[in-house]
Amino acid sequence: MAENMKNINWYPGHMEKARRQMQENLKVMDLIIEVRDARIPLASENPFLAEMAAGKPRIIILSKTDLADPEQTARWEEALRTEQREVLSLDLRQGKDVRKKIIAASRQLTAAKYEKMKARGIRNPRAMRAMACGIPNSGKSTLINRVFGRASLKTEDHPGVTRSLSWIHADPALDILDTPGVLWPRFDDQHAAALLGITGAINDQLLDFKDLSCVLITTMQKYYPGLLEKAYEYQDLEDPYDVLRAAAACRRILKENNEADLDRTASAMIHEFRRGKLGRITLEHEEDVEDLSE
């Protein structure tokens, strides 16, 4: 990570407020549904959620699998799964089987609690309560709409869409609380922050796209050699700025004086990545991570 990169931070007041309200609601939750982005399964883990969810059954959703590398998604799914923690990788846009899988996993993880209620003589135990949480723009509201079977919550392709907590009676057996995407007050790991920026979890207005494109280029050179060469029709370039210049030439993104417009090229590259135009790409590879224990 280059030293002169602009520092990334995004923790507006609504996130702090949401974090407090989530904490307050925690005691009534039977289950946590944490939605991460399959392209960055670790950088999209919110450390405060891990702490908050401790002791509660948890489903980790790896969303946006249509944009991620399928082989890596399969590896991550295995690596993150534990006894108390189911992992489901889902393309929430397609919605195929989303409802069925979420309901089945919720049932399984709350079975002991449900049986306990029955044993106490409650004939029709209440619906289980789940809190959907995670970083901004990861697909929490889309997921709940899928389980509910109706587009009742607002979803848009930018972070910070959901601003308040709201309960959805998604299924007779499952209530889900939608929450605003939250980040944390300070990113100790600026590389992870850049990955969050690239994938769209951070307000674009705070980002330097040239910085982000350099991180994207070096990561793709490491994991997907040849892909950028193919997309931007160049050969034998290593330096990220040379790659940016090649991309500018290929896409004809030029200033009035015919020089490459690197700012606009960087932004175009990030948006091509986000739309999946550069391929199905995972920016964190499972085999490179040594310790996944929490």
Ligand X SMILES: Nc1nc2c(ncn2[C@@H]2O[C@H](COP(=O)(O)OP(=O)(O)OP(=O)(O)O)[C@@H](O)[C@H]2O)c(=O)[nH]1
Q: Which stretch binds ligand X (CB under 6 A): 72-80, 139-147, 216-224, 261-269?
A: 139-147
If one asks whether residue 141 binds Mg ion (CB under 5 A), the answer comes out as: yes
Partner from ligand X, Mg ion, none binding residue 106, C-beta < 5-8 Å depending on class: none
If one asks whether residue 88 binds ligand X (CB under 6 A), the answer comes out as: no
If one asks whether residue 138 binds ligand X (CB under 6 A), the answer comes out as: yes
Q: Between 140 and 245, whose beta carbon lies closer to ligand X?
A: 140
The CB-of-34 to ligand X minimum distance in angstroms stands at: 11
Partner from Mg ion, ligand X, none binding residue 110, C-beta < 5-8 Å depending on class: none
Dist. CA 257–CA 142, nearest whole Å: 44
If one asks whether residue 137 binds ligand X (CB under 6 A), the answer comes out as: yes
The token duo for 161 is 């869409």
Q: Which stretch binds ligand X (CB under 6 A): 23-31, 151-159, 205-213, 248-256?
A: 151-159
User: Which of 66, 229, 263, 272 is the binder for ligand X (CB under 6 A)?
Assistant: 66
If one asks whether residue 199 binds ligand X (CB under 6 A), the answer comes out as: no
The CB-of-291 to ligand X minimum distance in angstroms stands at: 27
Partner from Mg ion, ligand X, none binding residue 204, C-beta < 5-8 Å depending on class: none
The CB-of-210 to Mg ion minimum distance in angstroms stands at: 29
Q: Between 148 and 223, whose beta carbon lies closer to Mg ion?
A: 148
User: Which of 19, 64, 101, 245 is the binder for ligand X (CB under 6 A)?
Assistant: 64
If one asks whether residue 202 binds ligand X (CB under 6 A), the answer comes out as: no
If one asks whether residue 145 binds Mg ion (CB under 5 A), the answer comes out as: no
Q: Between 160 and 276, whose beta carbon lies closer to Mg ion?
A: 160
User: Which of 67, 88, 266, 270 is the binder for ligand X (CB under 6 A)?
Assistant: 67
Pairing of strands 174-178, 58-63: unpaired
SS (H, E, C) the chain: CCCCCCCCCCCCHHHHHHHHHHHHHHHHCCEEEEEEECCCCCCCCCHHHHHHHCCCCEEEEEECCCCCCHHHHHHHHHHHCECCEEEEECCCCCCCCHHHHHHHHHHHHHHHHHHHHHHCCCCCCCCEEEEEEECCCCCHHHHHHHHHCCCCCCCCCCCCCCCCCEEEEEECCEEEEECCCCCCCCCCCHHHHHHHHHHCCCCHHHCCHHHHHHHHHHHHHHHCCCHHHHHHCCCCCCCHHHHHHHHHHHHCCECCCCCECHHHHHHHHHHHHHCCCCCCCCCCCHHHCCCCCC
The CB-of-162 to Mg ion minimum distance in angstroms stands at: 3
If one asks whether residue 93 binds ligand X (CB under 6 A), the answer comes out as: yes
Contact 40, 194 (CB under 8 A): no
Tell me how long the chain is. Answer: 294
Give me the residues that bind ligand X (CB under 6 A), please.
Answer: 63-64, 66-67, 91-93, 136-142, 155-157, 159-162, 180-181
